[in-house]
Amino acid sequence: MQKVYANANEALDGLLRDGMLIAAGGFGLSGIPELLIAAIRDSGVKNLTVASNNAGVDDFGLGLLLQTKQIKKMISSYVGENAEFMRQYLSGELELEFNPQGTLAERMRAGGAGIPGFYTKTGVGTVIADGKEVKNFDGQDYILERGIVADLSIVKAWKADDTGNLIFRKTARNFNPPAAMCGKICVAEVEEIVPRGSIDPDLIHLPGIYVHRIIQGPHEKRIEQRTTRKREEA
- pLDDT tens per residue, range 158-189: 999 999 999 999 999 999 999 999 999 999 99
Q: Is residue 141 part of a domain?
A: yes
Q: Is residue 74 part of a domain?
A: yes
Residues 61, 82 contacting (CB under 8 angstroms) = no
Q: Is residue 227 part of a domain?
A: no
Domain that holds residue 49: 8-216
What CATH number is associated with residue 211?
3.40.1080.10
Q: Is residue 3 part of a domain?
A: no
pLDDT category at 131 given cuts 50, 70, 90 is very high
d(CA 89, CA 8): 29
Q: Is residue 2 part of a domain?
A: no
Predicted confidence at residue 228, as pLDDT, reads 87
pTM value surpassing 0.85: yes
| Element spanning 63, H or E | helix 63-67
Q: Is residue 232 part of a domain?
A: no
Q: Is residue 80 part of a domain?
A: yes
Q: How many domains, the chain?
A: 1
Residue with the bigger pLDDT between 61 and 227: it is: 61
* C-alpha gyration radius of the chain: 18
38-83 residue pLDDT tens: 999 999 999 999 999 999 898 899 999 999 999 999 999 987 778 8
Side chain identity, residue 43:
S
3 state DSSP class of 160: strand
Q: Is residue 37 part of a domain?
A: yes
Predicted confidence at residue 234, as pLDDT, reads 62
- Neighbouring CB atoms inside 10 A of 202's CB total 5
